[in-house]
């Protein structure tokens, strides 16, 4: 009876702590990670950069338009002498003085250049930029998958330590109740001091174990706050409910794993990019054809001179032209670029083959890990049932004096270890399931 009261008090205490903390559900944790995680935010920015790069403004398909304008001003004062010249009356011809003679020049123009054909280089460059955007999309997906997998690894660690805290707290409550029983028995001369000391030692050990578990839990919560980009002092409860996928559902999700795995899709996209690089390099063998157009306006206002009055000269000009260039020999640069692009393409195919092999190994390992983890989970679950039954029988016998405190303590530790190992196995099995879904490309498509 006392044991039940003591355990109830511990549960009430833990419950009061829980009520003071907010509950962080799995869905909330995922949402916060998608909005706040540093790695995901940087991947989103990289995706936006790739989106800008694949824009038509970066394709080379649009013409270039430039405008020019200018103005010049000149003011002068000049004196023109006529040595040896006379007027009709025979007097020397006087000097001609031109004061504040001004001249201005104004011009404005606009020009257009457009490449009609550049050997198909810009077409394949544009396709390459689009493929690089696809890789950035896949990289963002990969970052999200890895972050969510890491998130659940830490989230489950907090959940497991939360359950372990309750298990170790219950163990401590049982030890305290046994210590009280031993002290009472010693008071009435039914036991010796050694039993009291042994019980006190067990209480001390269980107290230290509980503090260590609580410390691990607090550290795990801070790890979770780091992943979620939250304040380090934020405290919360986590959901300890675990739902496993049915075997048929999980099997169906991994059937097309090779078509959905993000690393394989990235490798295939890199192959396409290297193929486009070959075609871009080969464009150097072909001619280039371009168009040019221009329109201009000029105004020239000249000052008066000694013999002519000032003039205003306005000119409008329009020009259009075409250019054809063919680099017959560029010193072998195009040849080298083409050969290197071909070798890079071969390497990308080899890399894809290597990634495929690694994926096949990882997938088989993940399947095996999941199978073994589920078996261990089932075994540990049965072990809890057996240990609980053994503990209840040992408790009854201990209260009747049929077994010693050492035997009761062993049954108590067996139950604690079985419960703790079971909760560890539960979260390891779920994490193995998530790793299998991530390899299969179904992690983001599955309710967790």
In the predicted structure, residue 88 carries a pLDDT above the cut 90 = no
pLDDT digits (tens, 9 = 90+) for 273-330: 999 999 999 999 999 999 999 999 888 876 655 555 666 788 899 999 999 999 888 8
Pairing of strands 96-117, 64-80: antiparallel
CA distance 15 to 22: 12
CB 300 within 8 A of CB 148: no
**Residue labelled with tokens 């306006």:** 297
Asked if residue 323 is part of any domain, the answer here is no
Asked if residue 98 is part of any domain, the answer here is no
In the predicted structure, residue 133 carries a pLDDT above the cut 90 = yes
**Residue labelled with tokens 């298990």:** 167
pLDDT digits (tens, 9 = 90+) for 147-174: 999 999 999 999 999 999 999 999 999 9
Q: In the numeric block, which tokens belong to residue 260?
A: 């959905």
pTM: 0.85
Own/partner pairs, 179-182, CB within 8 angstroms, 24+ separation: 179/203, 180/2, 181/2, 182/405
CA distance 334 to 330: 7
CA distance 52 to 62: 15
Q: In the numeric block, which tokens belong to residue 412?
A: 């108590």
In the predicted structure, residue 72 carries a pLDDT above the cut 90 = no
Asked if residue 67 is part of any domain, the answer here is no
The mean per-residue pLDDT over the stretch 8-31 comes to 67
pLDDT band with cut points at 50, 70 and 90 for residue 76: low
pLDDT band with cut points at 50, 70 and 90 for residue 192: confident
pLDDT band with cut points at 50, 70 and 90 for residue 81: low
In the predicted structure, residue 59 carries a pLDDT above the cut 60 = yes
Q: How far is CA 440 from the centre of its chain?
A: 19
Number of domains in the chain: 1
Find the domain containing 352 and state its range.
2-36+119-287+328-445
**pLDDT attached to residue 401:** 86
In the predicted structure, residue 18 carries a pLDDT above the cut 60 = no
β-bridge mates for residue 68, sequence order: 109
CB 267 within 8 A of CB 355: yes
pLDDT band with cut points at 50, 70 and 90 for residue 420: very high
Asked if residue 148 is part of any domain, the answer here is yes
In the predicted structure, residue 14 carries a pLDDT above the cut 50 = no
CA distance 78 to 99: 6
- Could you tell me the end-to-end alpha-carbon distance of the chain, in angstroms, rounded to an integer? 41
Pairing of strands 288-301, 312-325: antiparallel
Backbone phi and psi for residue 210, each to the nearest 5 degrees, phi listed first: -65, -40
What single string gives the DSSP state of each residue in 332-354? THHHHHHHHHHHHHHHHHHHHHH
Domain CATH for 280 = 1.20.1600.10
């Amino acid at each position: 009876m006392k044991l039940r009261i003591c355990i109830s008090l511990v549960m009430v205490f833990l419950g009061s702590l829980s009520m003071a903390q907010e509950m962080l559900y799995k869905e909330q944790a995922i949402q916060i990670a998608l909005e706040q995680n540093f790695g995901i935010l940087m991947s989103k920015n990289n995706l936006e950069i790739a989106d800008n790069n694949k824009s038509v403004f970066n394709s080379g398909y649009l013409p270039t338009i430039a405008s020019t304008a200018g103005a010049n001003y000149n003011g002068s004062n000049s004196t023109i002498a006529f040595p040896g010249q006379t007027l009709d009356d025979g007097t020397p011809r006087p000097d001609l003085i031109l004061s504040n003679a001004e001249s201005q020049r104004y011009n404005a123009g606009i020009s257009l250049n457009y490449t009609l054909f550049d050997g198909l280089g810009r077409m394949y460059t544009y396709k390459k930029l689009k493929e690089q955007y696809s890789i950035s999309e896949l990289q963002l997906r990969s970052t999200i998958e890895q972050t969510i997998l890491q998130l659940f690894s830490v989230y489950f660690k907090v959940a497991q330590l939360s359950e372990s805290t309750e298990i170790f707290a219950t163990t401590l409550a049982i030890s305290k109740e046994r210590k009280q029983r031993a002290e009472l028995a010693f008071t009435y001369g039914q036991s010796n001091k050694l039993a009291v000391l042994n019980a006190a030692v067990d209480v001390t050990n269980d107290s230290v174990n509980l503090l260590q578990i609580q410390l691990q839990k607090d550290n795990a919560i801070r790890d979770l706050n780091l992943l979620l980009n939250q304040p380090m002092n934020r405290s919360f409860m986590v959901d300890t409910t675990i739902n496993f996928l049915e075997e048929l559902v999980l099997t169906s999700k991994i059937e097309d794993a090779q078509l959905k795995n993000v690393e394989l899709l990235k490798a295939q996209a890199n192959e396409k990019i290297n193929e486009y690089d070959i075609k871009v390099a080969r464009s150097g063998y072909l001619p280039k054809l371009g168009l040019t157009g221009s329109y201009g306006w000029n105004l020239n206002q000249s000052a008066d001179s000694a013999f002519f009055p000032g003039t205003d000269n306005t000119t409008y000009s329009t020009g259009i032209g075409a250019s054809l260039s063919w680099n017959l020999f560029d010193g072998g640069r195009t040849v080298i670029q083409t050969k290197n692009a071909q070798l890079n393409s071969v390497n990308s195919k080899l890399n894809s083959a290597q990634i495929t092999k690694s994926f096949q190994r990882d997938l088989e390992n993940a399947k095996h890990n999941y199978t073994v983890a589920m078996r261990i989970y089932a075994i540990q679950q049965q072990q809890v049932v057996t240990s609980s039954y053994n503990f209840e029988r040992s408790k009854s016998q201990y209260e009747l004096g049929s077994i010693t405190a050492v035997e009761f303590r062993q049954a108590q530790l067996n139950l604690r270890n079985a419960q703790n190992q079971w909760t560890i196995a539960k979260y390891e099995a779920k994490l193995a399931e998530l790793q299998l879904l991530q390899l299969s490309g179904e992690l983001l498509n599955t309710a967790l």
